[in-house]
Each structure stands twice: as C-alpha cells, then as structure tokens.
Amino acid sequence: MAIFMKKNLILITLFSLTLLSCSGAGTHAEMASNSATQKASKATEYTGKNSRLIGRFDLSTNGQAAFTWPGSAIEFRFEGSEASIAISSEHKTRFLLKIDNQVIDFWTDAGSKTYRLASNLTKGIHVIRLTRVNESTAGVTRFISDPQVDGKLLAIEGPKKRLLVIGDSITAGYGVEGANQHCHYTLDTSNQQLTYAALAANNLGADLHAIAWSGIGAWRSYGEKTPVNQTIIDRYPRALADDKNSHWNPAKYVPDAIIINIGTNDFWDGAVTEEYKQGMEKLIAKVQADYVNKPIYLIVSPMLGDKKHEAQKQILNSLASAQIKVFDIGESTGAEGFGCDYHPNITTHARLGNELEKKLKAELRW
C-alpha cells in the first residue's frame, strides 16, 4: 500500500486537528461512541429526498446508495433535535461527522445498523454531514435509509463550485494523522479530509470528488517492476472503485477543474519515462473525453525528490497545453515531519493545500 518513501530526514512534531465547537449541539462525542446498534428496519430505504450526496455513488440497487471512494458524503438539513440513518458496511469504516460547526470521529461496524447521528440538539435548524474518510479498501458502504429526524427534513443545495481530484495515497490521506514515518497504514491514521485537495476545496467553498487509491500509478503500482495490478486508468471510470461493472456517468458531476496527482508509484524504483508518459496520455484523454474544455492541473508529486521529481516534472511539462497546466505544489522534505511510511503529515498537507488553493483561486477567478 505504501508508495515511495523518503528516509533520514529531520522530524518535527505533528500538530493535532482542532475541532470546532458549536453551541446547543449536545455531547456529540458521547453520541458517536453510543451509536444505536439495532438492525436496520426492512421498511427503510434510501430515496435521496431532501439530502444530497457528495462523491461517486452507485444507485443501481433500489433503496441503496453504495460508495467506496474516500471523501464520499451525505449532507442534509433539518428542523428538530435528533437525527439517525441506516448504514450497511462490509467492514469497520471511519467517517467524520459534522453537526453544524462541530466535527468528530464516527465509526460504522460491519453489518446493517441504524446509527444515531445526533440527539438533544437545541430545537431549530441544523445541518449534518457524514463523510467517509477511509479508502476503498475498507469495502463498500451503503446508505440504506434516508436521514430520519424527529422534526422535518428541509431542502438543501450544494455549492456551485466543483472540483475533481485523481490521485494515489497522498490524495487519499494515507498516514496523514500518523505520529511519524515509522507507523504503517491503519484506518485510524487515514483521513482524506485532511489532504491538500480536500483542504483547498473546503477553503474555496467547492464540492470535491476524490478518486484516490494508495499505491496506484498511471503505468504501474508501488512494488511492481512491470505492471500487474489495475492502474488508475482502470479504476477512474468506476462508481465503486473495485467493481469493474460499476460504471460512473460523468454527466452527473461536471467539475470546473480537474486535478491529477499521479506518478509517485510509477517512479518508485527508478525512471520509467516513456511508460509513464504513455499512461498519463491515456488518463488525460479519458478525462478530456468526459469533461471537454475543462482545465486540468497536473501535480508534480510531493513525495518524489531530486532526479525523480525533475524527471516527472519534465514529462508532465511535455503534456502541457492551453487546457493542461503543470503545477509543482512543493515537496514533502521532512522539515515538517512525516506521517506514516514517510507520507505527508497534517502540517505538510496544509501547506500544499494552501498553494493549490491560491493557484485555483487566481486562475478560476474564485
């Protein structure tokens, strides 16, 4: 799962994610740890009325909204004091639960259950967003009911700004919350919402679809001398990342810009100049076919250093055009510390996200 790792660099302490507080929201940490665990009622089903989905979902099974990609979310607005939802998970999966302005960890267990999201809120209008932060390897999750509230679900609209990011473990948030480079992948330290792309999108007030898979490349994956596993070109068209029969209709979500951060794993064991270039050409062609005349930003990998960094940058520059731009957001040098397996940590992602935010804000005139 890990991708190219840098060694013997200076470490500094990670700072912790500060959670915002909100008045009248109840004790949400207690709610999450005491989520209802009764089996979901057979009478419930997901219809999508008065809620919105963020990310790629497979709605081919009536009454269910299935998803795997990190960053996939449901958001709803309601008048009342309590809310719950029925969820089916293949495995234990980590979410972030945002109630108004307060954010906490929220876990689902394997199986189908109805989970309490909030209770004892101050009576009034509230907005809840439940976001999956783990990767697709945690299995398929399904919303199998609409949000259930003690009052009334209200209409909700999403932002007009839209972004799509395609990437590997950096974009998926691998190890971002890890203490240092010596830890390895766990669900507890993987958090897509703390990545450069998610932070930039949030600060820009934009929705974000994240198509990210650890260890993946345009030609080969981490640990491979020659290609064996599926590439990002194989997984990009899917609604469910590991299901080749689950096709995503790009017309459902048209981004204002596309960010592609692929290449770290292609270069994990030396230069693969021509093979990588051909893979990126195929990926770009697929994206351009889906989203005609939309700007594409090719990101130089923050985890590649020295000659590999320059080699990738040179290839990306050869692919540039009026609609395709190359952006070097900076490197993960170790001066800010590391997350697990030498991945960027919270501090580095925040810095990289700030650079991406400034770039998009200026060029998209946001």
Q: Is residue 12 domain-resident?
A: no
Q: Residues 313, 343: one domain?
A: yes
Q: Is residue 313 domain-resident?
A: yes
Residue 78: CATH number of its domain: 2.60.120.260
Specify the pLDDT at position 11: 30
Point out the residues of the chain with pLDDT beneath 70.
1-43
Specify the pLDDT at position 44: 80
Q: Is residue 18 domain-resident?
A: no
Number of domains in the chain: 2
Q: Is residue 173 domain-resident?
A: yes
Q: Is 276 helix (H, G, I), strand (E, B) or coil?
A: helix
**Domain around 124:** 28-154
Q: Residues 234, 148: one domain?
A: no
- Give the domain-ending residue among 119, 154, 189: 154
Q: Which tokens is 356 given?
A: 């991406």
Cα end-to-end distance, the chain, whole Å: 35
Specify the pLDDT at position 87: 98
Give the residue from 291, 286, 265, 279 showing the smallest Cα distance to 316: 279
Residue 19 to residues 28, 105, 255, 268, 305, Cα–Cα distance (Å): 12, 10, 29, 36, 33
Residue 167: CATH number of its domain: 3.40.50.1110
**Residue 229 burial class via C-beta count within 10 angstroms: exposed 0-12, middle 13-18, buried 19 and up:** middle
Q: Residues 121, 217: one domain?
A: no
Q: Is 37 helix (H, G, I), strand (E, B) or coil?
A: coil
Specify the pLDDT at position 320: 98
Specify the pLDDT at position 156: 97
Q: Residues 212, 90: one domain?
A: no
Q: Is residue 7 domain-resident?
A: no
Specify the pLDDT at position 261: 98
Residue 205 to residues 129, 160, 336, Cα–Cα distance (Å): 15, 9, 27
Q: Residues 175, 141: one domain?
A: no
Q: Residues 217, 126: one domain?
A: no
Residue 197 CA to residue 263 CA, distance in Å, equals 16
Backbone dihedral region of 141: left (phi > 0), alpha (psi from -120 to 50 degrees) or beta? beta
- Give the domain-ending residue among 115, 134, 154: 154
- Give the domain-ending residue among 139, 154, 169: 154
Q: Is residue 20 domain-resident?
A: no
Q: Residues 189, 147: one domain?
A: no
Specify the pLDDT at position 32: 44
Q: Is residue 6 domain-resident?
A: no
Q: Residues 142, 204: one domain?
A: no
Q: Are the CB atoms for 206 and 161 separated by under 8 Å?
A: yes
- Give the global pTM: 0.89
**Number of residues in the chain:** 366
Q: Is residue 227 domain-resident?
A: yes
Q: Residues 124, 102: one domain?
A: yes
Q: Is 69 helix (H, G, I), strand (E, B) or coil?
A: coil
Report residue 196 CA to chain centroid gap: 10
Q: Residues 172, 131: one domain?
A: no
Q: Are the CB atoms for 118 and 126 separated by under 8 Å?
A: yes
Q: Residues 119, 187: one domain?
A: no
Residue 318 CA to residue 320 CA, distance in Å, equals 6
Residue 132 CA to residue 11 CA, distance in Å, equals 29
Specify the pLDDT at position 272: 75
Return the H-helix or E-strand segment holding 13.
none
Where in 3-151 does DSSP place strands (E)?
52-54, 65-67, 73-80, 83-89, 93-99, 102-108, 111-118, 124-132, 141-143, 148-149
Q: Residues 97, 171: one domain?
A: no
Question: What is the Cα Rg of the chain in Å?
Answer: 20
Q: For 207, phi and psi rounded to 5 degrees?
A: -70, 155
